[in-house]
């Protein structure tokens, strides 16, 4: 009985998968009889089996659906999309119940509602629930032969084989390959004649063919995944009130069956995103001259040893600027980081956790979970994801996957005289330790590898594994740069990189996996077991705090944590006169090479013009030559920027040590020891304190100063007004503005008229104070005047 039940579950599941796509087509073309027939056959089969297996709920559901569909088949009722929805609801419930049969989980029982909703479409509405006896009789009477025949004709004949048996076959064939290799070695040793060689050649090619064929047995058509997409999209469309046409190509591409499962979630996410915030509303689409029906294309193809899946839509694409605003608003990035990011990196912030460009959260997407999950899933199976954004025209997402999960492209490494494997997809590059672009140094007790100027966390594989190093291995060691799916890029120092090979991954025993360092085991062609290293596990072992180095090197890091770590780091640089100084990394926005022609002498100060904005240039004594390039540190306090000229940037170091006080506290914050030498740390505050605040044009709400200008036109308009504007006030000479002004500036005789008005600041022409001018301010006392205006405004609030 149990066997029969399992058979039923498996069969129902299979049919459901095929059916899902057909049902949606049926909705589009309700008159298509063959599709109604498919649906009818399904419920009929379910009904037949579950009557026999004594599954009353399934029986009731399938019977009701069959009833309705048989009417539809006989054209007694017209199929509407509402009716299809009702039938789909019942078919979904059948699917849930079937799954529940296996898992043993309960499914909420409101079957009667579903059935009633469906039966409402019958011509004689509201057929009462069918008595159990009637059902039993009905199903026995049903003439089913003709139908079953039709169903079986279209199927390819298959057998179900257990996975263990498949694995056994796989193992067997691997054995065979090893044995063949051994024979080949022996033959070479003893020297063979032609006939033996021929026979052996035939054996070899047969074995190779068999290995391929058995590899194929693990493969499945990607259609298994794609066939569920039309249904998924249909439900989304109904919910969103959009019209979307889905094109699926390449269903015949074959992938490893485990891959099908691993792809299911990412693909669903992407499709939802495309339908929900890629494709616009029909009206919107019409208004921009697009076909009101949206199009989504899903294409799979095989390219070499990779599978490519492309999902393209003709929606609005990703609004990159909006994405940036969201990212900044959510404090994932600072404004300047965003401005300095290359286009591609900007686009890729879509993968940052918690980010979405959707206007509102819908039940389908927009919660900002999704793209980050997609990328994580893709990495987990050794794949990658690419975006091609045409703003306003659509988005194309390409998923790249390895052909199988169980065979990986591997790299074999030697450490402590033993060979280990690692997945090549995690390896960025391999460099020799003796390469001149590689330096290994120690910073704060932690070893760091500097590869072409980029700092990476570094560890010897022998140290991680706790094995002894081979004595003669010191000369020709290699650095393998590894970028794990989880964690920062790091440099792994190994005795030697041995080979590139295809490795069959075998799971390791729990006791081995418990170390967290290994991804499994493998058996290469030499027949000696090999441990596969887990890149993420190694990264965790090396430690996360070393991520700091990587972060300090990149300016597109999205983590808010960076600021915290920056705050504790210093940048070591050489000034133009050759001394080594340091500055806190947190104030350094970026490093720029500025052409000498951009420097100007303005107002007795050296300034540099960058992107048409003039900034103070520090650290320079004279104007540089027009042709020269000057390395400048762009310092920022968040709103204002200053440029500091340096000869060169030397290093980044942790400012976690004691800072000794400096004799010149206004210039230097203090003195620290870096690599045993004292270095003065520049006082970041001093760079900004002498500067005016943010450019006043940036202020939207500027307080209004009314100048009672009848007094002295020339002075007020030419001298006073510019001062006020530059200090961030709006200036008006129009008497109608007097009432709404925040401050009124009056002079001489005019002060008498406005006595008692708290907004008035009185000015006088001479330095000496006359009696009637008590409380007035000398008109060339700039500081006094500005502070008086400031206090009036502050007092008015």
Strand partners, 763: 747, 777
Measure Cα distances from 39 to 42, 44, 50, 52, 64 in Å. 5, 8, 17, 20, 13
Nearer to other proteins, 528 or 677 (CB): 528
Nearer to other proteins, 541 or 790 (CB): 541
Nearer to other proteins, 392 or 527 (CB): 527
Residues 241, 211: contact at Cβ < 8 Å? no
Nearer to other proteins, 233 or 480 (CB): 480
CA-to-CA distance for 793 and 779, rounded, in angstroms? 19
User: In the bound complex, what is the minimum distance in angstroms from residue 490's beta carbon to other proteins?
Assistant: 18
Going by the DSSP 8-state scheme, the letter that residue 625 receives in this structure is P
Joined together, the tokens standing for residue 483 give: 């970028």
User: In the bound complex, what is the minimum distance in angstroms from residue 150's beta carbon to other proteins?
Assistant: 42
Edge-to-edge strand list for the sheet holding 588-595: 588-595, 629-636, 641-646, 613-618, 605-610, 599-602
User: In the bound complex, what is the minimum distance in angstroms from residue 454's beta carbon to other proteins?
Assistant: 29
CA-to-CA distance for 293 and 80, rounded, in angstroms? 20
CA-to-CA distance for 239 and 268, rounded, in angstroms? 16
User: In the bound complex, what is the minimum distance in angstroms from residue 420's beta carbon to other proteins?
Assistant: 9
Find the Cα–Cα–Cα–Cα dihedral 223, 227, 233, 238, rounded to 10°. 170
Nearer to other proteins, 174 or 268 (CB): 174
Nearer to other proteins, 378 or 530 (CB): 530
**Backbone φ, ψ for residue 129 (5° rounding):** -55, 135
The DSSP element (H or E) to which 500 belongs, if any, is strand 496-506
Edge-to-edge strand list for the sheet holding 244-249: 244-249, 294-303, 306-313, 394-402, 384-390
User: In the bound complex, what is the minimum distance in angstroms from residue 287's beta carbon to other proteins?
Assistant: 60
Nearer to other proteins, 416 or 696 (CB): 416
User: In the bound complex, what is the minimum distance in angstroms from residue 509's beta carbon to other proteins?
Assistant: 4
Residues 480, 461: contact at Cβ < 8 Å? no
User: In the bound complex, what is the minimum distance in angstroms from residue 410's beta carbon to other proteins?
Assistant: 14
Nearer to other proteins, 315 or 421 (CB): 421
Nearer to other proteins, 214 or 373 (CB): 214
In this structure, the strands spanning 394-402 and 306-313 are: antiparallel
Nearer to other proteins, 398 or 418 (CB): 418
Residues 617, 645: contact at Cβ < 8 Å? yes
Nearer to other proteins, 373 or 513 (CB): 513
Nearer to other proteins, 461 or 681 (CB): 461
Nearer to other proteins, 175 or 757 (CB): 175
Residues 503, 410: contact at Cβ < 8 Å? yes
User: In the bound complex, what is the minimum distance in angstroms from residue 166's beta carbon to other proteins?
Assistant: 15
- For residue 111, how far is the Cα from the chain centroid? 41
Query: Which residues fall within 8 angstroms of residue 56, CB to CB, at 6 or more apart?
Result: 132
Helix axis angle, 2-28 to 33-53, nearest 10°:
160
Q: Give the closest residue to 588 by CA, choosing from 622, 618, 620.
A: 618
Edge-to-edge strand list for the sheet holding 668-674: 648-654, 569-574, 580-584, 677-682, 668-674
> The tokens 């001062």 sit on which residue?
723
User: In the bound complex, what is the minimum distance in angstroms from residue 543's beta carbon to other proteins?
Assistant: 15
Joined together, the tokens standing for residue 459 give: 């560890």
CA-to-CA distance for 517 and 482, rounded, in angstroms? 14
Helix, coil or strand: residue 777: strand
The total of other beta-carbon atoms located within 10 Å of residue 242's CB is: 21
Per CB under 8 A, residues contacting other proteins are 171-172, 174-175, 178, 416, 418, 464-467, 506-512, 514-515, 517-518, 521-523, 527-531
Q: Give the closest residue to 308 by CA, choosing from 206, 414, 398.
A: 398
Edge-to-edge strand list for the sheet holding 438-443: 427-432, 478-482, 490-494, 454-460, 446-451, 438-443
Nearer to other proteins, 65 or 517 (CB): 517
User: In the bound complex, what is the minimum distance in angstroms from residue 517's beta carbon to other proteins?
Assistant: 6
User: In the bound complex, what is the minimum distance in angstroms from residue 419's beta carbon to other proteins?
Assistant: 8
Nearer to other proteins, 171 or 251 (CB): 171
Residues 118, 69: contact at Cβ < 8 Å? no
CA-to-CA distance for 756 and 751, rounded, in angstroms? 10
- For residue 259, how far is the Cα from the chain centroid? 20
User: In the bound complex, what is the minimum distance in angstroms from residue 430's beta carbon to other proteins?
Assistant: 22
Joined together, the tokens standing for residue 618 give: 């520090």
Q: What is the DSSP string of 574-592?
A: E-TTS-EEEEEGGGEEEEE
Residues 462, 415: contact at Cβ < 8 Å? yes
User: In the bound complex, what is the minimum distance in angstroms from residue 524's beta carbon to other proteins?
Assistant: 10
Helix, coil or strand: residue 768: coil
The half-sphere exposure of 309 on its side-chain side, counting CA atoms within 13 A, is 29
Residues 552, 455: contact at Cβ < 8 Å? yes
User: In the bound complex, what is the minimum distance in angstroms from residue 212's beta carbon to other proteins?
Assistant: 17
User: In the bound complex, what is the minimum distance in angstroms from residue 417's beta carbon to other proteins?
Assistant: 10
Joined together, the tokens standing for residue 419 give: 């060979």
User: In the bound complex, what is the minimum distance in angstroms from residue 500's beta carbon to other proteins?
Assistant: 20
Residues 599, 610: contact at Cβ < 8 Å? no
Nearer to other proteins, 111 or 462 (CB): 462
Nearer to other proteins, 115 or 422 (CB): 422
User: In the bound complex, what is the minimum distance in angstroms from residue 445's beta carbon to other proteins?
Assistant: 22
User: In the bound complex, what is the minimum distance in angstroms from residue 173's beta carbon to other proteins?
Assistant: 9
Nearer to other proteins, 315 or 508 (CB): 508
């Amino acid at each position: 009985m149990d066997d029969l039940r399992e058979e039923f579950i498996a069969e129902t599941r299979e049919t459901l998968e095929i059916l899902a796509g057909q049902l949606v087509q049926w909705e589009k073309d309700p008159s298509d009889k063959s599709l109604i027939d498919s649906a009818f056959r399904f419920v009929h089969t379910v009904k037949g089996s579950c009557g026999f297996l004594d599954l009353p709920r399934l029986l009731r559901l399938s019977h009701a659906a069959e009833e309705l569909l048989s009417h539809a088949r006989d054209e007694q009722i017209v199929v509407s999309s509402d009716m299809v929805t009702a039938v789909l609801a019942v078919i979904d419930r059948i699917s849930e119940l079937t799954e529940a049969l296996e898992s043993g989980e309960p499914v909420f029982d409101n079957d009667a509602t579903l059935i009633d909703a469906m039966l409402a479409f019958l011509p004689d509405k509201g057929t009462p629930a069918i008595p159990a006896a009637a059902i039993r009789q009905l199903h026995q009477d049903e003439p089913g032969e003709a139908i079953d025949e039709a169903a079986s004709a279209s199927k390819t004949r298959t057998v179900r084989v257990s996975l263990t048996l498949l694995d056994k076959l796989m193992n067997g064939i691997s054995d065979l390959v090893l044995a063949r290799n051994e024979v080949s070695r022996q033959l070479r040793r003893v020297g063979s004649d032609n006939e033996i060689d021929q026979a052996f050649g035939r054996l070899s090619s047969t074995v190779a063919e068999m290995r391929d064929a058995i590899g194929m047995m693990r493969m499945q058509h990607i259609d298994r995944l794609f066939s569920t997409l039309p249904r998924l999209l249909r439900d989304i469309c109904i919910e969103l009130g959009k019209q979307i046409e889905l094109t699926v190509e390449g269903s015949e591409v074959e992938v490893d069956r485990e891959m099908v499962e691993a792809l299911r979630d990412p693909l669903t996410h992407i499709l939802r995103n495309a339908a929900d915030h890629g494709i616009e509303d029909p009206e919107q689409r019409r208004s921009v001259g697009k076909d009101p029906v949206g199009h989504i294309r899903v294409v799979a193809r095989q390219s070499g040893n990779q599978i490519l899946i492309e999902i393209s839509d003709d929606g609005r694409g990703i609004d990159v600027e909006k994405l940036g605003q969201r990212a900044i608003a959510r404090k994932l990035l600072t404004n300047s980081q965003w401005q300095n990011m290359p286009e591609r990196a900007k686009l890729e912030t879509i993968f940052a956790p918690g980010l979405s460009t959707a206007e509102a959260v819908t039940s389908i997407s927009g919660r900002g979970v999704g793209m980050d999950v997609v990328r994580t899933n893709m990495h987990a199976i050794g794949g990658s994801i690419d975006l091609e954004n045409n703003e306003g025209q659509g988005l194309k997402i390409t998923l790249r996957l390895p052909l199988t999960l169980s065979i990986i492209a591997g790299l074999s490494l030697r450490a402590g005289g033993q060979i280990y494997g690692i997945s090549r997809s995690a390896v960025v590059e391999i460099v020799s330790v003796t390469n001149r672009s590689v330096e290994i140094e120690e910073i704060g007790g932690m070893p760091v590898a500097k590869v072409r100027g980029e700092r990476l966390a570094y560890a010897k594989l022998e140290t991680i594994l706790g094995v002894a190093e081979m004595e003669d291995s010191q000369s020709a060691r290699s650095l393998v740069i590894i970028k794990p799916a989880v964690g920062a890029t790091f440099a792994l120092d190994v005795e030697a990189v041995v080979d590139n090979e295809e490795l069959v991954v075998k799971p390791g025993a729990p006791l081995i996996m418990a170390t967290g360092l290994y991804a499994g085991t493998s058996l290469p062609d030499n027949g000696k077991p090999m441990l596969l290293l887990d890149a993420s596990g190694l990264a965790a072992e090396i430690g996360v705090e070393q991520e700091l180095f990587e972060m300090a090197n990149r300016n597109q890091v999205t983590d808010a944590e960076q600021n915290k770590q920056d705050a504790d780091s210093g940048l070591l640089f050489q000034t133009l006169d050759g001394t080594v100084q340091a500055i806190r990394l947190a104030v350094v926005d970026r490093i720029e090479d500025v052409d000498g022609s951009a420097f100007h002498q303005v107002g007795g100060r050296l300034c540099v013009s960058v992107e048409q904005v003039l900034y103070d240039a520090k650290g320079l004594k004279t104007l540089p030559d027009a042709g020269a390039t000057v390395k400048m540190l762009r310092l920022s306090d968040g709103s204002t920027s200053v440029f500091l000229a340096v000869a060169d940037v030397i290093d980044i170091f942790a400012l976690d040590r004691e800072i000794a006080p400096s004799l010149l506290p206004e210039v230097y914050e203090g003195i620290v020891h870096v690599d045993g030498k004292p270095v003065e740390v520049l006082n970041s505050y001093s760079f900004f304190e002498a500067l005016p605040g943010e450019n006043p044009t940036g202020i939207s709400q500027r307080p209004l100063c009314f100048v009672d200008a009848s007094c002295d036109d020339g002075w007020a308009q030419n001298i006073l007004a510019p001062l006020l504007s530059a200090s961030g006030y709006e200036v008006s000479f129009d008497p109608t503005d007097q009432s709404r002004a925040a401050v009124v500036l009056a002079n001489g005789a005019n002060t008498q008229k406005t006595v008692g008005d708290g907004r008035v600041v009185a000015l006088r022409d001479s330095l000496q104070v006359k009696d009637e001018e008590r409380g007035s301010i000398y008109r060339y006392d700039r500081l006094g005047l500005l502070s008086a205006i400031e206090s009036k405004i502050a007092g008015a609030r």
